[in-house]
């Protein structure tokens, strides 16, 4: 039985974009085990259906839906159909995301348009499709996957950091308005998580060669598996935390940035110089 207010359990309706892989897929697995009705949405049609199939034994209802989150009309139609079928939407995870670019002087402006479209417009499309329905029903929780790159400087991923800062800004600003309607909004800000995006992901517009070389040279600190991340994150979502940061040392990093911004900006600058040196790509 579902209650009339937000819960994450038997029969709660949970929609996840980017549900075919990594963080979104782990989330789908976790909430299916809780008995939620799970809607895995992704651009990768076959993969998302394959993954949904594997989860079908775990919950009464697991569906896969093909969608490019950049397509606002399709997003609105899909959410409307789910709401009509279920009579409620408890959680929307705006989680689909991509990486793009490296050295801004070489980046293509159309790749920036692309990352803005997926990482920012994809999230805003999800909000426009779902938020009014949640306001009407008087409950619901939208969780936007941002990143630590949305809270601190990230010299290695400038365009990505731009989009993730926008997602954090959007989330924390909407929070106050939404709470008046009984709707919750959170930003998920993970550090490094072992998923395909770290190597460019299926739809990333990145220099894969450089990323491959980089992966061999740099040992990204404190990487979590998606499963570990979700285990830490779900209790915080239940507690309605607005900004969710994992792992813990990233909170310390944010705290240092807030109190000593110039020091952290200096470290970020040195990180960029050292990354280029190690990749034998001397800065011109
Ligand atoms: N892995 C990390 O270290 C890390 C850290 C912080 C934040 N994030 C964020 O977590 C989210 C999930 O990424 P992940 O790490 O699981 O990577 P991932 O590449 O495993 O998953 C991303 C998913 O998004 C889907 N996708 C991409 N573009 C889409 C589009 N236009 N429409 C619909 N689906 C689309 C992909 O098909 C893929 O299934 C992203 O927003 C990412 O920016 C990841």
In a domain, 35, yes or no: yes
Distance CA 282, CA 103 (A): 12
pLDDT top residue among 250 and 282? 250
Mutate-to-test residue for ligand 1 from 97, 129, 227, highest number of ligand atoms within 8 A of CB: 97
For the CA of 223, the closest atom of ligand 1 is 3
Q: Say how far apart CA 97 and CA 150 lie, in whole Å.
A: 13
Q: What are the residue numbers of the active site?
A: 160
Residue 3 lies in a domain: no
Ligand 1 centre from 254 Cα, in Å?
Answer: 22
Number of domains the chain contains: 1
Express each pLDDT in 142-153 by its tens digit: 999 999 999 999
Instruction: Say what the pLDDT of residue 10 is.
Output: 84
**Could you tell me if residue 188 is inside a domain?**
yes
- 27 within some domain: yes
Instruction: State if residue 51 touches ligand 1 by the CB under 6 angstroms criterion.
Output: no
Mean pLDDT of 165-172: 98
Residue 2 reports pLDDT greater than 50: no
pLDDT tens digits along 188-245: 999 999 999 999 999 999 888 888 777 777 777 789 999 999 999 999 999 999 999 9
Residue 149 DSSP class: G
In a domain, 142, yes or no: yes
* 13-30 tens-digit pLDDT: 999 999 999 999 999 999
Residue 282: band (very low, low, confident or very high) from pLDDT cuts 50, 70, 90: low
**Contact present, 78 and 54 (Cβ < 8 Å):** no
Domain span at residue 143 reads 13-278
pLDDT for position 3: 42
Task: Output the pTM of the full model.
Answer: 0.95
- The Å distance, Cα 98 to ligand 1 centre, comes to 6
Q: Is the CB of 7 under 6 A from ligand 1?
A: no
Q: How do residues 66-125 score in pLDDT, each as one tens digit?
A: 999 999 999 999 999 999 999 999 999 999 999 998 899 999 999 999 999 999 999 999
On the question of pLDDT at 167 being above 80, the answer is yes
Would you report the helix, strand and coil content of the chain in percent, each value rounded to 5?
55, 15, 30
Q: Is 167 in the pocket of ligand 1 (CB under 6 A)?
A: no
Q: Decide whether any atom of ligand 1 lies within 6 Å of the 197 Cβ.
A: yes
The rounded mean pLDDT for the chain is: 93
In a domain, 167, yes or no: yes
Whichever domain contains 26, its CATH number is: 3.40.50.720
Q: Rounded to whole angstroms, how far apart are CA atoms 62 and 252? A: 38
Neighbour tally for 43: CB within 10 Å: 20
Q: Is residue 47 part of a domain?
A: yes
The proportion of the chain whose per-residue pLDDT surpasses 90, expressed as a percent, equals 83
- Residue 89, domain member (yes or no): yes
Measured from the CB, is residue 125 less than 6 Å from ligand 1?
Answer: no
d(CA 29, CA 230): 10
pLDDT value, residue 1: 38
């Amino acid at each position: 039985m579902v209650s009339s207010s937000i819960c994450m359990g038997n029969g709660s309706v949970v929609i996840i974009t980017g549900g075919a892989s990594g963080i979104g897929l782990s989330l789908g697995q976790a909430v299916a085990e809780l008995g939620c009705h799970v809607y895995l949405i992704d651009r990768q049609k076959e993969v998302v259906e394959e993954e949904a199939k594997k989860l079908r034994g775990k919950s009464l209802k697991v569906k896969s839906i093909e969608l490019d989150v950049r397509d606002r009309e399709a997003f609105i139609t899909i959410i409307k159909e789910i709401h009509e079928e279920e009579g409620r939407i408890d959680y929307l995870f705006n989680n689909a995301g991509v990486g793009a670019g490296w050295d801004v002087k070489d980046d293509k402006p159309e790749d920036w348009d692309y990352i803005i479209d997926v990482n920012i417009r994809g999230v805003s499309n999800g909000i426009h499709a779902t938020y009014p329905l949640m306001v009407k029903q008087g409950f619901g929780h939208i969780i936007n996957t941002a990143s630590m790159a949305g809270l601190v400087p990230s010299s290695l991923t400038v365009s990505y950091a731009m989009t993730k800062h926008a997602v954090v800004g959007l989330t924390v600003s909407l929070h106050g308005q939404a709470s008046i309607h009984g709707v919750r909004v959170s930003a998920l800000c993970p550090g490094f998580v072992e998923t395909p995006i770290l190597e460019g992901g299926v739809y990333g517009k990145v220099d894969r060669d450089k990323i491959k070389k980089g992966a061999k040279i740099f040992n990204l600190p404190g990487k979590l598996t998606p499963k570990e991340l979700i285990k830490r994150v779900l209790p915080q979502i239940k507690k309605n935390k607005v900004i969710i940061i994992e792992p813990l040392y990233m909170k310390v990093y944010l705290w240092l940035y807030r109190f000593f911004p110039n020091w952290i900006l200096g470290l970020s600058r040195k990180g960029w110089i050292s990354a280029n040196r190690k990749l034998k790509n001397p800065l011109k």
